[in-house]
Amino acid sequence: MKNRKFKIHKWLYYFDIYDRHFKKFIGKNPRILEIGVYHGGSLEMWNNYFDEKCTIYGIDINPNCLEIPQKLNKNNITIILGNQGDRQFWKEFIDKTEKFDIVIDESTCTNK
């Protein structure tokens, strides 16, 4: 991926697995949910992988993540602040959001 703005933090073997499962969505404008955005590198990667023909939602607890779509200059990426361990957050999110084609959970739950 040329000219990327953010680093990607993934285990190398993930890429073959992602490609195997997600290539069927190329050119089909998939709706993607990524839980755990970190610094935004994977959001940038998904946008590139799907040739910007996708709608991406990222969920993270860190308010700094809200700046990612602007830093990438992308209108098809939306960041939602929320704690993935909070049942009420999920209820409200699911009630107001359309279904997703792809859900990627990159988070670690530390809610006790």
Q: Is 18 exposed, middle or buried (0-12, 13-18, 19+ CB in 10 A)?
A: middle
Q: Domain 27-105 in CATH: superfamily?
A: Vaccinia Virus protein VP39 (3.40.50.150)
As to burial, measured by CB atoms within 10 angstroms (0-12 exposed, 13-18 middle, 19+ buried), residue 78 is: middle
N-to-C CA span, the chain: 38
Spans of all domains in the chain: 27-105
pLDDT of residue 18: 92
Of how many residues is the chain composed? 112
Q: Is 29 helix (H, G, I), strand (E, B) or coil?
A: coil
**What's the confidence (pLDDT) of residue 13?**
77
Tell me, what's the pLDDT at 111? 45
Its pTM stands at 0.87
Written as tens digits, the pLDDT of the chain (112 aa) is 557 677 676 767 788 999 999 999 999 999 999 999 988 899 999 999 999 999 999 999 999 999 999 999 999 999 999 998 999 999 999 999 999 999 999 765 544 4
pLDDT at res. 112: 40
Q: Quickly tell me which residue has 């992308």 as its tokens.
A: 74
Residue listed under structure tokens 């704690």: 83
Q: How far apart are CA 20 and CA 81, in angstroms?
A: 30
Phi and psi at 8, nearest 5°, equal -110, 130
Phi, psi for 60 (deg, rounded to 5) = -155, 160
